[in-house]
Structure 1
Amino acid sequence: MGVPALFRWLSKKYPKIIYPVEEEEEIKVPDEDGNNITIPVNMSQSNPNGIEFDNLYLDMNGIVHPCTHPEGKPAPETEEEMMIEVFKYTERVVNMIRPRKLLFMAIDGVAPRAKMNQQRSRRFRSAQEAKDKEEARKESVAIWECAFYFYLCVHALPDFL
Structure 2
Amino acid sequence: MGIPKFFRYISERYPLTSQLIEENKIPEFDAHFRLSEEQIFTSIFSYVDHLFGKIKPKKLFFMAVDGVAPRAKMNQQRSRRFRTAKEAREVREKAERKGEKLPEEKAFDSNCITPAFRTT
TM-score band w.r.t. shorter chain: 0.3 to 0.5
| CA radius of gyration, larger in | 1
Q: TM-score, with normalisation over the residues of structure 1?
A: 0.27
- Which protein has greater RCO, CA pairs closer than 8 Å, 6+ apart? 2
